[in-house]
């Protein structure tokens, strides 16, 4: 019987046939796909013909189709709908996959062919895109250790295998801590909570099979609880549990794992001749060096900390007026900030949320994409991996562009956060294929589901990533969609957030869940005026995390990451009542894999550009200026990694921006 993962998918648009796939199919499918991939690699490496771009680079691009299918299905469900069996498979697959891809990157015969082409690159008559793919392929082999020999080569393979296993363990420990902790709430504990928090707590209680409503460690539930609960004792209990994820001792503690990861990364970088892992990692990014990253972050840190310190004094006074003496604590900030926002801006999130229905915000994100890029979205009725998921066909001018899948609700089987991934990336070689793109979020369920303003911004953010995948128009998958520098990849997503704040968008789509009435003009103005409220807090918690990440990797790896974290925060003068957005034991961006290691700063690097890029629309014909939209698609959204990120931005804007646009955008300096 043919394995359903490896069979020809006859589903609409060749979406993975999730309904036919069982967990028992993954291991045999992976083994068969890796064997087939190894045979393809061997055929390329052992080809007796002289290396050409076609028989080496394009052959590499075409290899591994079966493996791509297996991994796209497995990692989709492992991240968004895990279970004990899938967690076990992740632990089993991590070292196998590491060994598999290390075997390719350390294949000397294969690297010899790539290096031969690189040496003759000026004589190969390549297109600009082909030259880019050759450069990236050669660079990828070198950075993976292909030029190493003997003991150094062996040690590199050991390091990569161990890092893969450690990253999986880190992720699963974090998921376990988030899944297993919850706090029961009595009727008395519910006092002061708005209806949307009560609904979310009751839904969470049902999922946890508790006796009543509960608070979980899902950001979409714990943050509003910290904002609205007048019970300081419960806020403290919930916050401490949230802050302690990955640091509770026992089998799920991530602190030793983080230390080992940092040590292995340093070894890896030094084997390749770099002074530090940060030097190695940043070489391929727009920032290039740790010093440039630190310079940007510190330019933002000082005004953000000044704003946060001033805000802390105001919140402390409010707390003391409530009869609470002592310092403002981390479990107090959101509660008093919410009271202050209501007082200063007359903006009550409990009154605002009914206007931010999930379905209407999805419609808004689609409508903006239609006005900017001509995309149309039609619902698809197809079996997906969870009942919460929904799908749409994306077309333009009647032509199929992509399939878009949305998985929006928090659940215990889903890791925290929000992300975008492509189950199939756009490419024209070896065959023309349209992308299948997924947005995964963790919003609270409700009837109807209501979003906070931050949730709505997250929805637009992830859809910006989706547009980068869907509008990609390149030949080779290796440079398709979001395959760009890490500090450039957040530009399309953060830029798209700006359309949520366009008054005409909110006026049309922010309609009340019960009455259907549009958001009152007065409330709309308050929302826009309050958009930068509490930016001192938000910027400090983010920049502190980015600076700790950089400090971990710029220089010798710390034997005790927690001590290093404390040292960095002390040197910065971290405000007492603000915690890092991601403390070390639950800093999945940095420790679940190499993706954002030395790279958490990239959100801010991209924000420097996104503030400037949206200004380009405003300077032209407004948010929906057709010429600017075409320039954005032609130079950024469709181009993937076909050129250097800096060149792509220059082609769109004509210049690179300074940090002032970001500071003004966050309201940290006068506009």
Question: Comparing C-alpha atoms, which of 448, 442, 412, 415 is closest to residue 210?
Answer: 412
What is the C-alpha to C-alpha distance for residues 163 and 354, in angstroms, rounded to an integer?
45
Peptide bond into 571 cis (omega under 30): no
Q: Are 82 and 413 in contact (CB under 8 A)?
A: yes
Q: Are 492 and 635 in contact (CB under 8 A)?
A: no
What is the C-alpha to C-alpha distance for residues 287 and 273, in angstroms, rounded to an integer?
20
Question: Comparing C-alpha atoms, which of 525, 524, 574 is closest to residue 546?
Answer: 574
Q: DSSP string covering 129-163, please?
A: HHHHHHHHHHHHHHHHTTT--HHHHHHHHHHHHHH
Tokens of 13: 């648009």
Q: Are 543 and 301 in contact (CB under 8 A)?
A: yes
Q: Are 605 and 598 in contact (CB under 8 A)?
A: no
Tokens of 620: 């032209």
Element (H, E) at 224: helix 219-228
Q: Using the structure block, give the residue that is written with the tokens 């991240």.
A: 79
What is the CA 608 to chain-centroid distance, rounded?
Answer: 18
Q: In what order do the strands lie in the sheet with 419-424?
A: 376-380, 390-396, 399-409, 436-443, 419-424
The one catalytic residue among 61, 207, 266, 462: 462
**462 a catalytic residue:** yes
Q: Pairing state of beta strands 399-409 and 436-443?
A: parallel
Catalytic positions: 462
């Amino acid at each position: 019987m043919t394995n359903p993962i490896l069979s020809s998918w006859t589903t609409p648009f060749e979406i993975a046939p999730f309904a036919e796939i069982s967990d028992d199919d993954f291991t045999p499918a992976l083994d068969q796909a890796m064997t087939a991939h190894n045979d393809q690699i061997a055929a390329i490496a052992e080809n007796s013909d002289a290396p050409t771009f076609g028989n080496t680079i394009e052959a590499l691009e075409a290899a591994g189709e079966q493996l791509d299918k297996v991994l796209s299905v497995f990692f989709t469900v492992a991240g968004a709908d895990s279970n004990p069996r899938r967690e076990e498979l992740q632990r089993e697959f991590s070292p196998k996959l590491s060994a598999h891809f290390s075997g390719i990157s350390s294949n000397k015969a294969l690297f010899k062919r790539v290096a031969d082409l690189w040496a003759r690159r000026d004589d190969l008559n390549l297109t600009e895109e082909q030259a880019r793919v050759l450069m990236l392929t050669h660079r990828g082999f070198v950075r993976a250790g292909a030029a190493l020999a003997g003991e150094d080569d062996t040690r590199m393979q050991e390091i990569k295998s161990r890092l893969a296993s450690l990253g999986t363990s880190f992720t699963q420990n974090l998921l376990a801590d988030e899944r297993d902790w919850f706090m029961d709430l009595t009727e008395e504990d519910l006092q002061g909570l708005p209806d949307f928090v009560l609904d979310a707590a009751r839904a969470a209680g049902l999922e946890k099979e508790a006796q009543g409503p509960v608070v979980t460690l899902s950001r979409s539930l714990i943050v509003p609880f910290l904002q609205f609960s007048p019970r300081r004792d419960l806020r403290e209990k919930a916050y401490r549990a949230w802050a302690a994820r990955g640091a509770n001792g026992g089998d799920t503690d991530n602190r030793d794992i983080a230390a080992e990861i940092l040590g292995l990364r340093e070894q890896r970088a030094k084997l390749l001749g770099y002074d530090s892992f940060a030097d190695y990692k940043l070489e391929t990014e727009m920032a290039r060096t740790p010093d440039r990253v630190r310079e940007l972050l510190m330019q933002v840190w000082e005004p953000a900390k000044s704003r946060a310190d001033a805000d802390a004094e105001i919140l402390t006074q409010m707390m003391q007026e409530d009869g609470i003496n002592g310092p403002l604590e981390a479990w107090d900030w959101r509660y008093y900030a919410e009271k202050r926002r209501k007082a200063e801006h007359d903006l009550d999130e409990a009154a605002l949320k009914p206007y931010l229905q999930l379905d209407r915000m999805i419609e808004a994100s689609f409508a903006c994409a239609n006005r900017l890029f001509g995309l149309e979205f039609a619902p698809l009725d197809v079996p997906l991996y969870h009942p919460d998921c929904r799908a749409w066909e994306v077309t333009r001018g009647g032509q199929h562009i992509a399939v878009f899948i949305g998985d929006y609700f928090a659940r215990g089987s889903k890791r925290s956060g929000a992300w975008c991934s492509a189950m199939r990336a756009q490419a024209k070689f070896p065959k023309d294929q349209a992308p299948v793109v997924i947005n995964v979020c963790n919003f609270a369920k409700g009837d109807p589901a209501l979003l906070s303003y931050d949730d709505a911004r997250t929805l637009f953010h992830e859809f910006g990533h989706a547009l980068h995948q869907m509008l990609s128009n390149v030949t080779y998958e290796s440079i398709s969609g979001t395959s760009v520098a890490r500090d450039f990849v957040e530009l399309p997503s953060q830029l798209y957030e700006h359309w949520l704040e366009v008054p005409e968008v909110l006026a049309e789509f922010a309609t009340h869940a019960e009455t259907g009435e549009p958001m009152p003009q007065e409330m709309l103005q308050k929302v826009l005026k309050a958009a930068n409220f509490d930016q001192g807090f938000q910027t400090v918690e983010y920049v502190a995390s980015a600076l700790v990440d950089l400090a971990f990797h710029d220089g010798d790896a710390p034997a005790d990451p927690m001590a290093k974290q404390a040292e960095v925060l002390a040197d910065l003068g971290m405000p007492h009542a603000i915690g890092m957005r991601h403390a070390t034991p639950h800093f999945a961006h940095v420790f679940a894999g190499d993706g954002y290691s030395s790279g958490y700063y990239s959100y801010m690097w991209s924000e420097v550009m996104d503030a400037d890029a949206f200004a380009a629309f405003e300077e032209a014909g407004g948010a929906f200026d057709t010429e600017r939209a075409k320039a954005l698609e032609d130079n950024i959204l469709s181009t993937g990694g076909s050129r250097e990120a800096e060149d792509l931005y220059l082609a769109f804007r004509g210049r690179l921006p300074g940090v002032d646009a970001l500071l003004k955008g966050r309201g940290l300096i006068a506009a």
